[in-house]
A and B are shown apart, each in its own frame.
Chain A
């Protein structure tokens, strides 16, 4: 019995590593292609380059791809959006869950509309024009908050439901109240779910290019993915440069993933699934 299980495990392991080629091969190809000359890169395979063209490729992409500009726009928009989403969603969920009145439950239910309904593209553009912030980075921050608030609220709410009520009731008796109580007593307790929500929204906002394509019209405001998209439009035949650009845009999320991997899995266990 024991031995049989071990053998099955071994076979499973081999099969899974075999299938992982489907993940590893394309990524390896992108990395190697980004080191090649234009001619060699056209062969889109994983053979090592005859001529290593690393410095030239990456310098060219950095200069032609508006990387510096796109990077700062991305940092500004993603940074502000994630921080504000975390602050708003955590406090919002806490109140909704703890008060638990009829109106609060109705609001919770209504938030699912934000997960289901698609982005109303032109009406949103028109609204931003009327307010007078269309095309600005700040408008992107507001739109992202509105778009990801429902999902973040869902994650926070299910986590808060699992927290013992006595913890924050004790704080009320001690005389700490309102926002101060929330920041000092409750927020530290929410660390795991804050990490997960923060990482997920960071990845989604950083990687997104659907909303900027609608809402950012001037190239000086473009986020990194948008500049990659336009770079691809110009250098479609130069796979070496396109691959280098793809790597540059992915580096921040790769770094985040390496350091914060465990929170993604842990948080999904705690949040999305238990409900």
Chain B
């Protein structure tokens, strides 16, 4: 039972993710019959390509915006939802709901909300007399990046809340009781006991937001397809779009660069945090 899982993981993930990147050093494309070795030509080509820096910046913006906002808001909402509220369970259910939908559905919902003609947001702006702010949201780079980030936030906040709540609930009540007897104030309790004890959960949130934020693909693909032009492209969509354009070896080369960036980011994070030891 040790061999079988390793075999599947090895063949269907590790193999393409290592040896498979050999294609990055060939001239493989939909126009060529025989594949031949071309060295680092694809990489030189990529660094001349104007789309790659755009994708790089967008990917970073999506990942960082998501990580910061999801972690902070997840924390705030979890702290409030951990209080003895009357409708606590109903509220928890409501705030987790967006997390169960497909990115496809969430993307389409936000397409509807921010639709140019009669979308909810534009109608709202027109009603309250701010029609000057109404616009074709997905038609410009920065407004599109903003709307996609909002959709990503909407979809992921629930997970962050649940993970932080889990951390909050594992804080032993005796610690808090004991400190209260010693006369600690509410803020002191929070700062000196609760906060240090839930840092692991916060770290989990940061790590997963960062990894999945960098891997951002489906929402962008559904909402803008990387457009207008290539303005909202991320690494994820660029790999797809280069492949659709028939430039196979370039797609693989970008995929390889992307892998290296992600692994490097994870190693750096590991150095700064001791919490990378779940499985050990």
A residues in contact (CB < 8 Å) with B: 8-9, 12-13, 15-17, 20, 22-27, 29-30, 33, 42-45, 88-89, 91-92, 95-96, 105, 107-109, 111-118, 120-124, 126-127, 142-143, 145-147, 149-150, 153-154, 157-158, 179, 182, 203, 206-210, 213-214, 225, 228-229, 232, 239, 242-243, 246, 249-250, 253-254, 256-257, 261, 264-265, 268-269, 272-275
Contact = CB atoms under 8 A, between A and B. Distances in A.
B8 A149 contact: yes
Interface of B: 1-2, 4-6, 8-9, 11-17, 19-21, 23, 77, 80-81, 83-87, 91-98, 100-105, 108-110, 112-113, 115, 117-120, 123, 154, 162-163, 165-167, 169-170, 200-201, 204, 211, 215, 217-218, 221-222, 235-236, 239-240, 243, 248, 251-252, 255, 258-259, 262-263, 266, 275-280
Contact of A89 (B5, B80, B102): B5
A145 B278 contact: no
A254 B211 CA distance: 26
Q: Which 9 pairs across A and B sit closest by C-beta, in order of nearness?
A: A123-B20, A207-B102, A123-B16, A146-B12, A269-B166, A108-B279, A146-B13, A91-B1, A120-B16
B223 to A, nearest CB: 11
B84 to A, nearest CB: 6
Contacts of B162: 264-265, 268
A92 B102 contact: no
A262 B104 CA distance: 25
Given A16-B80, A91-B1, 4 more contacts: A26-B113, A44-B119, A242-B108, A268-B162
A122 B259 CA distance: 14
Contact of B275 (A153, A203, A275): A275
A118 B262 contact: yes
A121 B102 contact: no
B186 to A, nearest CB: 9
B104 A127 contact: no
B13 A272 contact: no
A209 B103 contact: yes
B278 to A, nearest CB: 5
B240 A23 contact: no
Given A108-B279, A109-B279, A126-B20, A27 B97 contact: yes
A117 B263 contact: yes
Nearest to A91: B1
Contacts of A89: 5
B101 to A, nearest CB: 6
A13 to B, nearest CB: 5
A229 B222 contact: yes
15 contacts: A17-B87, A23-B154, A24-B94, A30-B109, A42-B118, A44-B120, A45-B118, A88-B4, A116-B211, A117-B13, A120-B21, A121-B255, A142-B8, A210-B236, A265-B92
A9 B101 CA distance: 30
A39 B100 CA distance: 30
A239 B112 contact: yes
Contacts of B236: 118, 210
A86 to B, nearest CB: 12
A157 B279 contact: yes
Nearest to B275: A275
B2 A44 contact: no
Contacts of A22: 154
Contact of B104 (A8, A25, A207): A207
Nearest to A258: B93
Given A121-B240, A123-B17, A209 B170 contact: no
Given A108-B279, A157-B278, A269-B166, A13 B86 contact: yes
Contacts of B169: 269
A174 B12 CA distance: 39
A273 B8 contact: no
Given A179-B1, A228-B104, A268-B162, A143 B12 contact: yes
A242 B222 CA distance: 13
Nearest to B117: A42
Contacts of A153: 5, 279
B259 A117 contact: yes
Contacts of A16: 77, 80-81, 85, 91, 95
Nearest to B251: A122
B121 to A, nearest CB: 10
B23 A126 contact: yes
A145 B4 CA distance: 11
B5 to A, nearest CB: 4
A207 B13 contact: no
